[in-house]
């Protein structure tokens, strides 16, 4: 499998990573631990060496499952673990909190759940508008100096925020939403990362399953599945995106002999210093992985893909609906310094 360096950290990883938000169950209609563990182990067996998780995914559940799968399978030394910090929760309500006190608590909780003594890539999950970026950066630099983390990343950060972070300490990676349907980072974050030597971990590479080729107009979503409120999966917009997927299916098959899922992952990898995070939660979902390596999408085909999107998706919508509130709840008070 293709590999990529994680910034200037000295670490390298496969260019396809396993995303484990869905494995945590929260906002994905629940989780099956045995199937999740089997998926993680199948991913490693197939050559994936990056597992991306976060404390907020299932309120600790995803990290616990990842830790159990790797420890009991003897796989820890075969992968890079990427997890996050800076989202807390209270009574099921998620909020941003990147204060030093919170980070020092979270790192130890994550190490325990992941059953490891070091996290390979530690990422600030969302910018905290109530905590100075410099405070957050200094705290992660301290953790790196202590040997608890190896590389530092941010997620959902704008270039100006990354500039402020990098004024304090080295940054190795950025994790934004990026896929064929959600391309806002091409205007700022992607060129910034390319020029600054940052690796881009693209979350939502299959756009919450839309680009898997398995979703139809009759597909329903259960429980707390976030696709029940995702504007892409509702009414006229849903029909537009599904029409685009059908056209992309035909292009993928006729031009490359590939599936639309494979096309979508290859497209992400062809955009720059990128890793495509694949949110599989069943081993069989990983079967097409071998079709992603060893080829590229030519410029003429990229132009045709753009034409399909412009024709089919006349009312596009951003992934901004996933952002947590900008301010902490009134019941949460910062500790006195």
Angle at 298 between CA 293 and CA 301, to 5 degrees: 110
The tokens describing 73, both together, are 């399978």
Determine which one of 57, 157, 203, 241 is catalytic: 57
CB neighbour burial string for 46-80, b if at least 16 within 10 angstroms, e if fewer: bebbbbbbbbbbbebbbbbbbbbbbeeeebbeebb
Task: Tell me whether residue 57 is one of the annotated catalytic residues.
Answer: yes
Query: For 192, what's the count of Cα atoms within 13 Å in the CB-facing half-sphere?
Result: 20
DSSP 3-state of 44: helix
d(CA 83, CA 109): 12
> Tokens 């590999």 sit at which residue?
3
d(CA 279, CA 177): 13
Give the residue numbers annotated as catalytic, written as ranges.
57
């Amino acid at each position: 499998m293709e590999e990529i360096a994680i910034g200037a950290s000295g670490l390298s990883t496969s260019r396809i990573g396993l995303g484990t938000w869905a494995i945590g169950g929260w906002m994905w209609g629940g989780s099956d631990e045995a199937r999740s563990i089997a998926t993680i182990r199948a991913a490693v067996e197939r050559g994936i060496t990056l597992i991306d998780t976060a404390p907020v995914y299932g309120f600790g559940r995803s990290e616990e499952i990842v830790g159990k799968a790797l420890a009991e399978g003897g796989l820890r030394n075969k992968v890079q673990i990427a997890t996050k910090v800076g989202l807390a929760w209270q009574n099921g309500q998620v909020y941003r909190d990147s204060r030093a006190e919170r980070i020092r608590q979270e790192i130890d909780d994550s190490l325990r759940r992941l059953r490891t003594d070091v996290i390979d890539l530690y990422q600030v999950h969302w910018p905290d508008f109530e905590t100075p970026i410099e405070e957050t950066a200094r705290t992660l630099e301290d953790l790196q100096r202590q040997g608890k983390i190896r590389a530092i990343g941010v997620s959902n950060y704008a270039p100006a925020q990354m500039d402020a972070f990098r004024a304090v300490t080295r940054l190795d990676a950025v994790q934004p939403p990026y896929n064929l349907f959600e391309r806002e980072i091409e205007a700022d974050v992607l060129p910034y990362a390319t020029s600054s030597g940052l690796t881009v971990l693209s979350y939502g590479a299959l756009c919450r399953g839309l680009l898997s080729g398995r979703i139809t107009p009759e597909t329903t979503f259960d429980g707390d599945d976030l696709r029940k409120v995702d504007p892409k999966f509702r009414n006229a917009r849903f029909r537009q995106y599904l029409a685009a997927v059908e056209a992309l299916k035909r292009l993928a098959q006729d031009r490359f002999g590939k599936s639309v899922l494979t096309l979508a992952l290859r497209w992400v990898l062809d955009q720059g210093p990128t890793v495509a995070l694949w949110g599989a939660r069943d081993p069989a979902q990983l079967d097409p992985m071998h079709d992603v390596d060893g080829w590229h999408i030519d410029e003429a085909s990229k132009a045709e893909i753009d034409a399909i999107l412009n024709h089919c998706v006349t009312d596009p919508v951003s992934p901004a609906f996933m952002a947590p509130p900008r301010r902490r709840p009134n019941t949460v008070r910062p500790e006195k310094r």
